[in-house]
Amino acid sequence: MTSKRLDKALCDWYADEEVLDTTIGQLLRDQAARNGDVDALVEGKLDGTSGRRWTYAELLADAERMAKGLAARFQPGERVAVWGPNLPEWVLVEYAAALAGLTLVTVNPAYQKRELDYVLRQSNSACLFLIPEVRGNPMHQIAEEVAKDLPTLREIVDMTDPDAMFTDPSGTLPDVDTNDPAQIQYTSGTTGFPKGVVLSHRNLTNNARLFVKIGELAEKQTTLGLTPLFHTMGCSMGVLGSLQSATTYVPLLVFDPNAALDLIEREKVSWSICVPTMAVAMVAAQKAKPRDLSSLKLLGMGGAMVAPDLARAVEKVLGAQAMVAYGQTESSPLITSGRPSDSFEDMTGTIGQPALGCEVGIFDPATDEILPCDTVGEIRARSYATMLGYNDNPEATAEAVDAEGWLHTGDLGMMNDRGYTVITGRVKDMIIRAGENLFPAEIENVLLEHGGVAECAVVGVPDEVLGEAVAAFVRMEEGHAMDPEELRAHCRSQISAPKCPAYWEEVESWPLTGSGKIQKFKLRDQWVADHVAEKATS
């Protein structure tokens, strides 16, 4: 832990970390040469058992064979989309596209026709890899309907058909540059419709490598892929982090807490990354049916706040150290991270210090001035990991990345003089009540300290007098009933009256993005629709 102190909310202590000119394909070749007989990829099934296995040598052979087939049909730089859950073929497509010099477009398997059409059209994809259906979503049928109006989409490939995956390998693999686009990932859409984030080989490979270094994750371990592969936490931190540490990657088809725990026990998994909602479910499942999880050493969590009680439960029930991280797709994704040596208070009360190779500062959104420590402003980041830009959207790119290279995250937070940052909400989510700025994360943290609250989300809702009022959506722990007066009293004992929610809504489930983040705009929209209807009928 550093003894240095900041005199303002700008931390560049870790910015000089070495960044390597690597590509995804070359890293796979190098690892196969060094550790060809080490398991690289293992199929994780929903019944908690393991399926097919590939060593690094076998994975390279399959990836190169598939890549040569792609190179015979597509030109370097063309876009190919992959639409499916966490199956091994997804990972194979990721490597093959990289070797063939193609840009991989990652697509949420929950998408419906309108959403799929948007992504394929906006990315100008020439090929779509998919499976026939997942969880009742008729993906092949939807794709055929979308393809009728997309002349640029030349192929639809069924990933369950080996003949379609491995065509005549007569193509010549091109030279791929570290700064070439590797992927286009569409942002989660917690506040609206997604934009296509273009990330380079250099962005992704270094961010994943440095995540492994920060977490002090040993080589030749086993990790469980819980987060969706279409998200950077899955296909970058998980897949490419594993690649660079000769780790065995076990993708679980879709998240199921019991299957996840069974696979941790069966495959002796040592680390994984997830969103907090997944950790909550695994803690509950382990309590209901204990497994031998002695191999699990670390569970990284990001994408939402991690309550201290959840971190304690991860350590007590799952036996793993909780490590909190923060990032955005636009930064490949890691921006800040806890360190294994952090105190429990720093690990649970902050989002850590800047990631290796990254500068982080807190800026006044109105003046662009760097703010003093412990002052709320916009979190901004500058590093090698910043995206190449939004696909075919220079205006949005210019808004997100300024002339000095700072990525404007849109998140509000504050940094202490040790470089640890706390998130207080989104710039767009900030609640303005009677002219006072209120930060949802502060209120949510207080609510999560109540023993009966499992998860919560705080949003601003319209108020004719105050402009906005505070509404809390709460999911209670099993066996606890929601009592608004009790929760209000709990909040009032720790925060001022204006911050205490005026409205309380109990929920059993959340509207989530594909990566597991709560879509607050949907909660707000539903609240407005319900209350407008109440007024209309009263």
Match domain 22-415 to its CATH number in 3.30.450.90, 3.40.190.10, 1.10.1200.10, 3.40.50.12780. Answer: 3.40.50.12780
pLDDT in tens, 291-347: 999 999 999 998 766 778 899 999 999 999 999 999 999 999 999 999 999 999 999
Does the pLDDT value for residue 378 go beyond 60? yes
Q: In the chain, where are the structural domains located? A: 22-415, 429-537
pLDDT, average across residues 62-80: 98
Q: Please say if the pLDDT value at position 189 is more than 60.
A: no
Cβ of 537: how many Cβ atoms within 10 Å?
A: 6
Degrees to nearest 5, angle at CA 313 with 311 and 319: 95
Residue 396 reports pLDDT greater than 80: yes
Relative orientation angle of helices 56-73 and 24-35, to the nearest 10 degrees: 150
Do the bridges between strand 321-327 and strand 334-337 make them parallel or antiparallel, or are there none, so unpaired? Answer: antiparallel
Distance, CA of 491 to CA of 447 (rounded, Å): 7
Residue 537 pLDDT grade (very low, low, confident, very high; cuts 50, 70, 90)? low
> E-strand spans in 8-97?
10-11, 39-44, 50-55, 79-83
Mean pLDDT computed over 448-474:
90
Instruction: Return all residues near 163 (Cβ < 8 A) that are at least 6 apart.
Output: none
Q: State the amino acid at position 79 in one-letter form.
A: R
At position 421, the amino acid (one-letter code) is T
Confidence at residue 43, expressed as pLDDT on a 0 to 100 scale: 98
For residue 174, the 8-state DSSP code is P
Q: How long, in residues, is the chain? A: 538
- The pLDDT confidence band at residue 538, using thresholds 50, 70 and 90, is low
In this prediction, residue 533 has a pLDDT band, given cuts at 50, 70 and 90, of low
Residues 6+ apart with CB under 8 A from 275: 227, 233, 301, 302, 303, 304, 515, 516, 517
What pLDDT does 291 receive? 98
Residue range 245-276, pLDDT digits in tens: 999 999 999 999 999 999 999 999 999 999 88
Q: What is the mean pLDDT of residues 398-410?
A: 96
Instruction: Please report, rounded to a whole number, the percentage of residues in the chain having pLDDT higher than 70.
Output: 96
Residue 62, helix vs strand vs coil? helix
Quickly count: other Cβ atoms within 10 Å of residue 492's Cβ: 13
Of the listed ranges 378-387, 407-416, 456-465, 525-534, the one predicted with least confidence? 525-534
pLDDT digits (tens, 9 = 90+) for 191-233: 456 799 999 999 999 999 999 999 999 999 999 999 999 999 9
What Å distances lie between residue 26 and 29, 63, 71, 244, 436, CA to CA?
5, 12, 16, 11, 53
Point out which residues pair with 507 in neighbouring strands: none
Q: Do the Cβ atoms of 329 and 198 come closer than 8 Å?
A: no
When pLDDT is cut at 50, 70 and 90, the band that residue 190 belongs to is: very low
If we measure between CA atoms, which residue out of 474, 466, 483, 461 comes closest to residue 535? Answer: 461
Q: Say how many Å lie between the first and final Cα of the chain, rounded.
A: 59
Higher-confidence residue of 426 and 65: namely 65
**Identical fold at 22-415 and 429-537?**
no
Residue 374 reports pLDDT greater than 80 = yes
What is the band of 482 on the pLDDT scale with cuts at 50, 70, 90? very high
524 contact partners, CB below 8 Å, separation of at least 6: 459, 460, 461, 471
**If you average pLDDT over residues 177-183, what whole number do you get?**
98
- Whether residue 87 is predicted with pLDDT greater than 50 in this model: the reply is yes
Dump pLDDT digits (tens) for 101-137. Answer: 999 999 989 888 888 999 999 999 999 999 999 988 8
Buried b (16+ CB within 10 A) or exposed e, 510-535: bbbbbbbbbbbbebbeebeeeeeeee
Burial call 338-361: b when 16+ CB within 10 Å, e when fewer: beeebeeebbbebbbbbbbbbbbb
Say if pTM beats, i.e. exceeds, 0.85. Answer: no
Cβ neighbors of 14 (< 8 A, separation 6 or more) are 353, 354, 355, 356, 357, 358
Q: Which helix (H) or strand (E) holds 21?
A: none
ω into residue 333 within 30 of 0, thus cis?
Answer: yes
For 386, other C-beta atoms within 10 Å of its C-beta total 22
Residue 503: what are its φ and ψ, rounded to 5°?
Answer: -125, 140
Give the whole-number percent of the chain exceeding pLDDT 90.
80
Q: Are the C-beta atoms of 456 and 523 separated by less than 8 Å?
A: no
Name the CATH superfamily for 429-537.
ANL, C-terminal domain (3.30.300.30)
Average pLDDT, the chain: 93
